[in-house]
C-alpha cells in the first residue's frame, strides 16, 4: 500500500474534531512513516514541534531523549550541540563540568538538562527544529514519547501535504 493510500484511509479520522486514542494515533503514525518519503515525515515532525497545539520543542525533546536508546541519545545531542557553542554549554545551570562529546554526554545528562540545551539551541538557531525533525524521522519508533495528540498534529500536517 502506498503512503498516499494510507494517508487517504486515515484522513477522515483526523479531521479537525477527530478524537483518536493515543494507541490508534501511535499505530497510524507508524503506518504512515513506514511508507511515506522521509522529507514528508520530517516536515510533519517539524510542524508538530512548532505547533501551538503541542508542548514546547524543548519539552518534547526532553521526553524523546528520555525514551531514546544510547545511540539515539548521542545522535540527538549531536544535533543539539551543533547549535550550541561549547562555552555556552558550560554556562547552562548544572552543565558547567559537562564536556561536548555526545557519546559521553548521552550517559551523563538527564532529560531536564537536555531540555535546557534544547531551549538554548532553539534560541541560538531556530533551524535546529528541522535538524532534530530529520533525525527523528529516521527513528520514528521513539516518537510515541511525545504523545498521541502531538503525533496527530504531525499526521494532519502530512495529510495536508499529500492533498
Spatial separation of the C-alpha atoms in residues 5 and 42, rounded to whole Å: 19
**pLDDT tens-place string over residues 24-80:** 788 888 888 888 889 999 999 999 999 999 999 999 999 999 999 999 999 999 999
Can you list the alpha helix ranges (DSSP code H) found in 51-110? 57-67, 70-81, 86-91, 102-108
CA distances from 147 to 26, 30, 92, 144, 163 (A): 8, 13, 28, 5, 25
Whether the pLDDT of residue 163 is over 50: the answer is: yes
Domain span including residue 52: 3-162
Spatial separation of the C-alpha atoms in residues 146 and 151, rounded to whole Å: 7
Query: 5 vs 34, which has greater pLDDT?
Result: 34
What is the pTM assigned to this prediction?
0.85
Nearest residue to 49 via CA among 161, 124, 160, 137: 137
DSSP letter string, 2-51: -HHHHHHHHHGGGSTT----HHHHHHHHHHHHHHS-HHHHHHHHHHHHH-
- Mean pLDDT value of segment 85-96: 67
- Mean pLDDT value of segment 150-159: 88
pLDDT at 16: 45
Q: Is 118 helix (H, G, I), strand (E, B) or coil?
A: helix
pLDDT at 96: 58
Residue in the block written with cell 557519546: 103
Query: 158 vs 163, which has greater pLDDT?
Result: 158
Whether the pLDDT of residue 22 is over 50: the answer is: yes
List the grid coordinates of 53: 497545539
**pLDDT tens-place string over residues 93-148:** 666 555 678 888 888 889 999 999 999 999 999 999 999 999 999 999 999 999 98
pLDDT at 17: 43
Number of domains, the chain: 1
Q: Which residues contact 50 (CB under 8 A, 6 or more apart)?
A: 57, 129
> In the chain, what is the greatest distance between 2 CA atoms, to the nearest angstrom?
51
Amino acid at each position: 500500500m502506498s503512503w498516499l493510500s494510507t494517508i487517504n484511509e486515515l484522513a477522515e479520522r483526523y479531521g479537525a474534531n477527530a478524537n483518536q486514542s493515543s494507541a490508534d494515533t501511535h499505530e497510524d503514525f507508524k503506518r504512515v512513516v513506514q511508507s511515506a518519503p522521509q522529507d514528508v515525515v520530517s516536515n510533519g515532525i517539524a510542524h508538530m514541534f512548532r505547533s501551538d497545539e503541542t508542548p514546547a520543542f524543548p519539552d518534547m525533546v526532553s521526553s524523546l531523549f528520555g525514551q531514546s536508546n544510547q545511540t539515539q541519545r548521542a545522535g540527538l545531542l549531536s544535533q543539539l550541540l551543533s547549535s550550541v557553542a561549547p562555552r555556552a554549554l558550560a554556562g547552562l545551570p548544572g552543565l558547567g563540568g559537562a564536556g561536548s562529546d555526545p557519546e559521553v554526554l548521552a550517559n551523563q545528562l538527564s532529560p531536564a538538562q537536555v531540555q535546557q540545551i534544547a531551549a538554548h539551541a532553539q534560541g541560538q538557531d531556530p533551524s535546529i527544529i528541522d535538524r532534530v525533525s530529520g533525525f527523528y524521522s529516521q527513528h520514528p519508533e521513539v516518537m510515541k514519547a511525545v504523545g498521541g495528540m502531538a503525533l496527530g498534529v504531525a499526521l494532519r500536517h502530512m495529510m495536508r501535504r499529500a492533498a
